[in-house]
Every structure is written in C-alpha cells, then in structure tokens.
A and B are shown apart, each in its own frame.
Chain A
Amino acid sequence: MNVAPFIADIKYILPEIILTIAALVILIFSVLIKNKRALAYFSLASLGITLLYVSKTPVITTSLFSGMLVNDSFAAFFKIISIIIALAVILISLEYKEISPNYRGEFYCFILLATTAIMFMGAASNLLMIYLGVEFLSLISYIIAAYWRGNVKSSESGLKYFLIGTACSITMLYGISLLYGLTGSLDLEQINAILYGNTSQPAAISIIILTILIGLGFKIAMVPVHFWCPDVYEGAPTPVTAFFSVGPKIAGFAVLLRFLLTGSIFFYEHWAHLLGILAIITMVVGNLTALSQTNIKRLLAYSSIAHAGYALIGLVIGTHIGQVSLFVYLLTYTVMNLGAFAVVIAVSNKIKSDEIKDYAGLSLHSPYLAAALAVFLLSLAGIPPLAGFIGKFYIFSAAIEEGFITLAIAAVINSVIAAYYYFIVIKTMYLEKPQAKIEIKPAPSLNFALIIALILTLAIGIYPQPILDFVIHTSSIFIP
C-alpha cells in the first residue's frame, strides 16, 4: 500500500491536528497547574492560529484520504464558523460561576475537540466519516451537557441528550447500512454515480432519506426529534447551551446539505416535500411553544428550534440560491444567538437566575446590557437594520424566487408570532419595575465577546455586502 498520498494529505487537516494536540495538552496540564485561566488563553491562542491558518489557505477542491474527506470552500466555510463559535464560547465561559474552576480545564479541552468534530463533519464526503463525525460530536456533547457537577438538572440533561441522541444516530446508521447494501459504496460521489438515473428502489431511497433526516434532524433540533432541546438547554451550563444552540446545529446543517445536495440531489422530490412540511412544523412548534416559556434558556431553546425551521427552507429550495440563503442565515443566526447568550451569562453570573421575571427593570440599572439583549432579540425577530433581518430577507427572497410561496408565507406568519415572545423579554427589561437594584458589570472577556457580537449584528444588518461576498464565494464552487 502506498502511503505517500496519505502523508501528503495530512497538511490539509493541519487545523484539526493542531486543535486535537492543543486539546490533549490542555488535558494534561489541567491536572498539573492550578491557574486554569492560562489554559483558556492557550485554547484561545490555538483557535486563533487555526483560524488564521484556515482563512489564509487558498482552497483548491481536493479529495483527501481516499475520498474520506474533501477539501473545498464549503468545508472551509464551516471550519471558519466553528472556530469562531469556539472562540466566542470560551470567551463567554471564562467568568461563568457555575462551573467550578477545578473543572474548567477539561471544559476547554472538550470545546476544542467538539470544534474538531464539527470541522470533520463539514469536510466529510464519506458516509462512514459522516457517522464518525456525528458520533464524535455527540459523545462530547453528552459530557459537556452534564458538566455542571452536582446539579440534578444538568445530569438529567446529559442523560436525556445521550438516550435520545443514541436512538437517533442508530437510526441513521441503519439508513447508512441500507444505502451501502443498495450501492456497495459509502462514498457520496460514488453513490451518486451509481444511483444516477436509477429509480428502481423508491421505497428504499425514501427510508434511507428518512433515517438520515432523523439522525441529523436531531442535531439541528428539527421537529419531531427536537424534544431533547429545551431540557438540555435549560439543564446544561449556559456557555454549553450557547455552544449547543449554534455548534451542533451548523454541523448538522453542513452534513445535511452535503448529503442531500450531492448524495441525493437526484431524489429531490423524495425529500423536498417532506422536508418542506417538516420545516413548517418545526417553525410552528418552536414558536408556539416558546410563547409560554418563563425561563430565558428554554425560550431561546424553542426559538432555536424555530430558527432551524427557517433555515430548513433554504435547504428545501435546493438550488444555489437556496444554499446561499441558508449560509447567510446560519451566519447571522450564530452571531446574534451567541450575543444573546453572552447577555444571559452576564446576568446569571450576577443574579443566579435564568427566569425571565428576574430580568425586570434591567434597563434601569444595566442599560447597556439591556440594550444589547434587546438588539439581539430584535435581530432574532428579524427587525431591520439588524443581522437577523438580512438572514430572513435572504431566505424569503430565495423562497419567492424559486416559487416556494407557501413556505414564504408560513415563514412570515411565524416571524410575527416569534416577535411576540422576544418582546416578552424586552417588555420585562424595559417596561417593568425592578425588584432589586441589579447593577451588572460583565467581566472584560465577556464584555469583549458581547461587543464583538453587537458590532457584527449591527454591521451585517447595515452593510451586509462583505458577508454576502464571503458566502457567495464559499458556496459557488459546491453546487453544480
């Protein structure tokens, strides 16, 4: 066996290797040194280096490791987002009070590993690799969901996540095995070539697509495999929740996109209708359930379910435009959702509560924090000129352009419903009297992440051109 090409391919996965080594180093040093802050800085630095490396390396589409991975701009896009998410999550977790400083070292290690997993998922072009990526990410997720030692809700959250997650990934594995049986291959390109024009097994194809949708729908919190989401979000430590709300979600979308649009684009009619209906149900269930929430983490959980529904529209559309709109949506969603969680962490650090009623009168004593949260929530509601509006605008316009009028109408009606619950939080902060004087001064690291998210939310909303250029560039090579 010739190993030379394998060795040559290693340079393409250098970022993943750097992060894995950094994670292992952190694991060792977290036992040895007392000052866990140094480990945080170390992980930030390694993420920074990786980000620099990924964004500076020109992308030439190449197949790696005998077709296990592919190095293309699509993968690069998800690498960049996942690194940025990890940076943000570590920044906002630095001063988080509920994780005992003794356990923080491992936390950074897990975040780096999870990032590696997401990067592999974005680049995977083989079903085996996809499955490994999904499982890798899932296992780490189960651990960090239960990271709040001694807290019953956190443990419950981890267990729940584990049980449902396992069931879903087994289902997906079954689908993968069926596909292998049908085609004799695990490589997406080869499967594509074999199935091209072959319509003899419609039932089997439908079952395969359904099982994959269940496995990946779990990651993006799509209805009906969403019910883990609120409990896990509520129980997990808030920085972990912040990570869950974006990391696994974009990873799930990356794989779904890759699978549906290269692996089974010829079976578009097999999945588009089903996924369209699921998108509508996801939006409706997410939004309607969010209306009655009293805990901000649960509210954001249901809101993230609804947002998965909007994003799914981009996938259903299926064309290049649909994909661009999905990328734009994921980007804007990531920024504003992380921003919202940064505020939630700042508040819970101080008042030890995530209940919305405890946000009463926040605007009086912490006007800056309240304004920031208001901006993030308005952005999530899709009010211009904020980033979320650009995301929604792109999804709606893609739907109208490609003739998905029903989806567009469902989406706008849902965004009106969603505005109501975002405004419940805004109302509590601005219109209600405070119970006590809460002056919150977020830690510098948290403040930094918050300000960056705020600037991005405003900047993308007011001048979206650079972001759109970036997205159109990264997505142009992928779809024929």
Chain B
Amino acid sequence: MFGLPLLSLIIFLPVLGILILFFIPKAQTSTIRGVSVATTLVTFLLSLLILAHFNTAQPGFQLEEKLSWIPQVNINYHVGVDGLSYSMIFLTALLCFLACFASFSIKDRIKEYFIFYLMLEVGMIGTFLALDLFLFYVFWEITLVPMYFLIGIWGGSRKEYAAIKFFLYTLAGSVFMLLGILALYFNSAPHTFSIVELIAQNSLFPRLFQNIIFAALFFGFAIKVPVFPFHTWLPDAHVEAPTPASVLLAGVLLKMGGYGFFRISYPILPEAAKFFAPAIALLALIGIVYGAFVAMAQTDFKKMVAYSSVSHMGFVMLGLASLNPIGFSGAYLQMFNHGIITGAMFLLVGVLYDRAHTRDLNAFGGLREVVPVFSGMLIFFSLASLGLPGLSGFVSEFLSLLGGFKAFRLFTIISVTGIIVTAGYILFMIQRILLGPLNPKWKSLAEINTREILTLVPLLILTLALGVYPKLILDILNPGLNLILKAIGVAN
C-alpha cells in the first residue's frame, strides 16, 4: 500500500512508542498505559494490514526490504515475510496487545515497565522477519535484555535468581549460535549472511561441517524451545515472571527457538537435520513424557503450566524430527496453538493470583461456586491444553504424532503416553481448584472482570476456530513448509 515499508514499520513502531514514553513524566500512569496500549494496538492492526497485502498462495518471501547495512562484510538489513513468519508476528502482535491489558495490574515503576515491554516486542517481531543472519542475531539478543528486567524488577520472590539464570542460559546458547553463523558465512561462496542465499547453497556444505554447525545452532535454539535437558531455566523464569512476561515468554519467546530450527537449521543444513533426526526425536519424546510427569507433581499452578510447556513443545520437536509434510504442519501449528493456549493459561493463572495471592493448587477447592465465569474459561483452555478434539491443540498434536509415527514408530507410541499423563495433570488441577467442597477462605473471591474476559475472548475464539477449521492457518503455513521440505530434499 502506497509502497510503505510495512515490515520495517511493524518492527520499529514500538520504538516510536518507547520514544514517546521517554517524554511522559512517570507520575502520569494512565497516559503511559494509554500510549502503550495504543502502540501495541497499532502494531497489531499493522499485522492485519500485512495480511491484507500478503498472498498466501505464493511461496517464498514477500514484502521484502533490503538495504545495505555493513557492506564490508556483506551484511544487509533484509526483512521479508512468508507464511511461517507471518503466523508468528500475528501471534506476537496479538499477545503483546492482550498482555498489555494484563500489565495494568503492574503498579510499580510503570514507565520503565512499558519501555522494556515495548523493547521486547521490537526484538520478537524483528527476529521473525529478519532474513539476514546477522540481523536475526541482533534481534534475538535484543529480546534478552528487556526480559531480564521484566522478570528481575517485577517478578516474584526469587526474581533475581530467575532473571539472571534466564539471561545466562540463553546467552550461552546464543553465543554458540553466533559462532555457527560465522562459520556458515565463511564457508559460503560468495560469503553471505543471507538466509535465502545460504539455503540455495546448502548442497555445497560437506556433511561433517553441517553436523558441527547444526550442533552449534542447536545450543541456541534448543535452549530457547526448550528441549530436554536444556529446559531448567524455564520453570524458574516462568514462575517468577509477572503474568504478562510469562505470557510472552511462553507465547512467543519459546517459539523463537522452534522458528530458528524451521528457518535456519533445517533448510540450510539438511544433511545434519537428517543425521540428527533420531536424536531430536528421542529428546522430544523425553520432553513430552518427562515434562508431563513433572507437571503432575507440581503444587504451584504456574509451575505446572510451565512444565506443561516443556511437554507441549516436545510435540514441536517430534514433528520437526519426522521430516515429512504432516509432521512439519503439526509442529508449526503446535507452536502457534501453544502460544495461544498457554498464553491464555498464564493469563488465567495471573487472574487467580491477583485475587488470591497464592498459586498453591492445594489451597483452593470448589471455586466453581464463587467464580463461575473464571471456571468456565479455565476449563475451556485446560481442555484445549490437554488436546480435546474440536479445539486447536488436538489438531496440532495429532498431526505431529501422525508425522512422527511415519518416521519413528516406537518413539511416537511412547510419546502418546505423554498425552494421557497430560490429561491426568490437567484434570487433577481442575479438580483441585474448581471442584470439591469450597474452601471457605475464598468465599468472597472476586469474579474475573470484564477487562480480563475481553483479553481472553480473542484467544478463545482462535482456539475454537482453529480446532474446528485448521485449514485457516494451515493454508498460510504450508507453502512455506513445503519450500523448507524441498530445501531439505524430502518433498513429496
């Protein structure tokens, strides 16, 4: 439209918001909130505008923008969107907008909070749109700093520990990723950081080289996903983070890892992807089952949801490792769905915690009598999370398993037990919070308010819509996924 650089606009619009926030006195809290909501709203509207200009049937990148950035080493500011990145920026823009309302419960140092919040949005959207590995790395790292502060300043009782653990873990992963990126650059001819050009050259890389680079990138991406055994930062970070940060952490930041596999590791290093597939499938299986069992053992509501993320993200890795169209669709869809459903779960945890000031599952009981609307919401998203047919989580887990079954029969069969355990811990959670006799302590617990309901409704609609008619999003994803499969050399 009018030749506007839409992608740059959506990346840097939050920067404009930050600049405005700088000039607002910190006492004017409602103005600060207003500016932040407006910024995230406009960003979200821009994501819709991009969809309007996006041809879903056309494979490859669209709306590309390319500017020379550091010509000495052939680094370009190169952004572009395809179905894979579009679904992620839509998710990011939506969750950022919704979590902005959840941020109203932050009462302390509001100006700083929203500055970091918007900075985080810049990094996340940029990561999904970058087509130059240097640019990708820069945006990737930009997300670390604001998240450190969001957890560290506004988090729970062990916030300092959780924040630095999150930071160091992800930094450790990403510096190895940086070395991998550099090695790719120096082994390409002509030297390039361009993802597109590197994919075109992927047959030139010898097998051993591919395996080494894959391993280096794996550190960066797997820690982010997180793949077992790199997940230990996640429960700490999630539990201590304030609700909106948890939402974005689970909803978007984890997806950056999965996105990295889809966008970079797999198409650029196809031989290594095949070589490591069994190992990744094994880690995925462990993640699914182990995550589910650990979730079951939790008494902290938030920690339970955090471990459920480990389990759910395991399906992403299983679908990835399957290296077939069905598994890939399932894996990518699972990323999207997990963002929506777990985002909603964390919002619900936040709603409950804001009122009860505890997350101890055993402290509740019988809440369905006091807060029926909240209970309804919780049951809806819990069922989506456990994979009830008709809701979106079912579709993606089913596709992942189907794809996985083709490739790794035994692993997939064992993975299915994870679903049973998931059903177990979710229902156990519902039982402890909503059912049974009412704990008299919560007799006057306030019902979920309109603002909170409104933030959940869009997620609810999406969950239902994608559960009933997943083609909506699969049509956007499949051209991109097919291109990746073709680059790997396993297209049907």
B-contacting residues of A (Cβ < 8 Å)?
Answer: 363-364, 367, 378, 383-385, 389, 393, 396-397, 400-401, 408-409, 412-413, 415-416, 419-420, 423, 427, 430-431, 463-465, 468-469, 472
Contact = CB atoms under 8 A, between A and B. Distances in A.
B71 to A, nearest CB: 7
A420 B138 CA distance: 20
Contact of B171 (A396, A416, A463, A469): A416
A465 B167 contact: no
B72 A468 contact: yes
B144 interface: yes
A419 B168 contact: yes
A463 to B, nearest CB: 8
B171 A419 contact: yes
Given A401-B186, A431-B159, A464 B168 contact: no
A419 B168 CA distance: 7
B168 A400 contact: no
A472 B167 CA distance: 34
A396 B160 contact: no
B70 interface: yes
Contact of A408 (B138, B160, B179): B179
Interface string B153-164: 100000110011
Contacts of A397: 73, 182, 185-186
Nearest to B182: A400
Given A384-B142, A427-B152, 12 more contacts: A383-B144, A384-B138, A397-B186, A400-B182, A400-B183, A400-B186, A409-B179, A415-B175, A419-B171, A420-B164, A464-B70, A472-B72
A465 B69 contact: yes
Nearest to B184: A400
B454 interface: no
A81 B152 CA distance: 38
Nearest to B141: A384
Contacts of A400: 179, 182-183, 186
Given A420-B164, A423-B164, A468-B70, A384 B137 contact: yes
A151 B84 CA distance: 64
A412 B176 contact: yes
Contacts of A420: 164, 168
A408 B186 CA distance: 14
A431 B152 contact: yes
A177 B413 CA distance: 77
Nearest to A472: B72
Interface string B127-164: 00000000001100110110011001100000110011
A431 B168 contact: no
Main secondary structure of the interface of A (DSSP, over half): helix
B416 interface: no
21 contacts: A363-B112, A384-B137, A384-B141, A384-B142, A389-B138, A396-B178, A400-B182, A400-B186, A401-B182, A412-B178, A413-B175, A416-B171, A419-B167, A419-B168, A430-B149, A430-B153, A431-B153, A431-B163, A463-B69, A465-B69, A465-B72
A431 B160 contact: yes
Nearest to A383: B141
Nearest to B144: A383
A320 to B, nearest CB: 13
B71 A465 contact: yes
A468 B145 CA distance: 26
B106 interface: no
B172 interface: yes
A464 B175 CA distance: 20
Q: Is the interface of B mostly helix, strand, loop or mixed?
A: helix
Residue among A367, A408, A412 facing the most chain B CB atoms (10 A cut-off): A412
A378 B112 CA distance: 17
Contact of A469 (B72, B142, B149): B72
A409 B176 CA distance: 8
Nearest to A417: B168
A154 to B, nearest CB: 34
Given A383-B144, A383-B145, A430-B152, A412 B175 contact: yes
Nearest to B186: A401
Contacts of A385: 138, 142
Contacts of A465: 69-72
List the 6 shortest-distance A-B pairs measured between CB atoms, nearest first.
Answer: A412-B175, A384-B138, A400-B182, A416-B172, A401-B186, A431-B152
A401 B191 CA distance: 11
A427 B164 contact: yes
Nearest to A427: B160
A211 to B, nearest CB: 35
A420 B171 CA distance: 10
A1 B160 CA distance: 73
Nearest to B73: A397
Contact of A378 (B109, B137, B145): B145
Contacts of A415: 175
Contacts of A367: 112
A420 to B, nearest CB: 6
Nearest to B177: A412
Contacts of A363: 112
A250 to B, nearest CB: 22
Contacts of B167: 419, 423
Contacts of A463: 69
- Residue of A385, A408, A431, A468 ringed by the most chain B CB atoms within 10 A: A431
A464 B77 CA distance: 13
Contacts of B112: 363, 367
B71 A416 contact: no
Contacts of B71: 465
Contacts of A419: 167-168, 171
A106 B253 CA distance: 55
B434 to A, nearest CB: 36
Nearest to B151: A431
A469 B183 CA distance: 23
B214 to A, nearest CB: 16
